[in-house]
Amino acid sequence: MTEPPVVQDIKPLLEKIRKAEDGINSVILGKETLVREFITGLLARGHILLEGLPGLGKTQMVRTLAMLCDLVTNRIQFTPDLMPLDITGSYILSDVEGKRDYVFHAGPLFGNLILADEINRASPKTQSAMLEAMQERRVTVLGHTHVLPEPFLVLATQNPIELEGTYPLPEAQLDRFLFKLMVGDVPAAVLARIVMERGNGDLPNLTPVINKAELLAAMGMVSRVLLSQQVASYIARLVKSTHRAEDGVTGRLVKYGASPRAALSISMASRARAFLDGRVTVGFEDVKAVASATLRHRIILDYSARLEGVSTDDVIQKVLTSVPEIERPVPPTVVERLT
């Protein structure tokens, strides 16, 4: 079993992470909770899907992170005519030492931070080109496998699927995102501040506050944060309770529940949240804090739930309030008592 990090050891890296968080908050005003979830997903080595209407700062949040982290950052603008090879790269006939041969030219997917802008505006064929990269951190082109750099994080934005010209992401691709974060509107007071301070679109001058080696070191410490057997059992029971069952927590509201990958995602996200809080042990409160962002895109509701106006977040809250932190022992039956 890997030894958990010491609190004193995480402080220098944690200070740099918090500087990055402060830098994003200085650009994206009035969304401190969203930014904290965004940083949590980053430390957990997870891909993040940001959903919201145009103009709410989704793309700017990713671009700000790129400015604060000294990482190779590439942007892919997803459009209906984008092809898979436009993302992964392809083999091109070139001159190699006086001979003509096919040479692999890497696509924009070969970077540390990949901004997949408006990912749901590309066709399902193009979206599926991301599956291998997001799960295995590699791409295969014409039978040849190419390993992606470390870290490799896809930070995708999408518009609500009700908007014209969007395609729903395949379930297999959604399941590869650690978080789905909802980018909502801002209060009037924050909007007034934006108008006063950003009237010309000017943003604060930002410089990198953390490099790749430091970020990888922080990610390594996050993976060592202690997660007890009791907390692991709680995560397992939460995920299991998202599945359809006549007498279960969700009843007939859910068509398909969360996958085992969801349980792993919750555990890593919980570790990252504890790390950001300066702790080296995961608590039940960490699991509850990351549950919605981790599960909302992995649960498929039954049509009856949609007719009743029940959302995925409603189901998750029902699960959180129904599943106890500590599993209660099953009382013995009458036969067991007699024997």
330 pLDDT band (50/70/90 cuts)? low
Going from N- to C-terminal start, the domains of the chain cover 1-199+207-219, 225-323
The pLDDT tens digits of the residues spanning 294-324 come to 999 999 988 888 888 889 999 999 999 999 9
The pLDDT tens digits of the residues spanning 188-219 come to 988 888 888 876 667 778 889 999 999 999 99
Average pLDDT over every residue of 222-235: 95
2 pLDDT band (50/70/90 cuts)? low
Which residues, 6+ apart, have CB-to-CB distance to 312 below 8 Å? 295, 296, 297, 299, 301
- What is the Cα–Cα distance from 271 to 220, expressed in whole angstroms? 11
Q: Give me the pLDDT at residue 164, please.
A: 65
Comparing 329 with 312, the larger pLDDT belongs to 312
Instruction: Give domain 1-199+207-219's CATH architecture.
Output: 3-Layer(aba) Sandwich (3.40)
Q: Give me the pLDDT at residue 281, please.
A: 94
Average pLDDT over every residue of 277-281: 93
Q: H/E/C letters for each residue in 140-205?
A: EECCEEEECCCCCEEEEEECCCCCCCCCCCCHHHHCCEEEEEECCCCCHHHHHHHHHHCCCCCCCC
- What is the Cα–Cα distance from 105 to 278, expressed in whole angstroms? 43
**Fold (CATH) for 225-323:** Helicase, Ruva Protein; domain 3 (1.10.8)
247 pLDDT band (50/70/90 cuts)? low
Intrachain domains 1-199+207-219 and 225-323 with the same fold: no
Question: What percentage of residues in the chain have a pLDDT greater than 90?
Answer: 53
**Residue in 287, 214, 231, 269 with CA at minimum distance from that of residue 9:** 214
The mean pLDDT value of the chain amounts to 88
286 pLDDT band (50/70/90 cuts)? very high
Provide the whole-model pTM. 0.89
The pLDDT tens digits of the residues spanning 123-160 come to 888 887 888 899 999 998 888 899 999 999 999 998 87
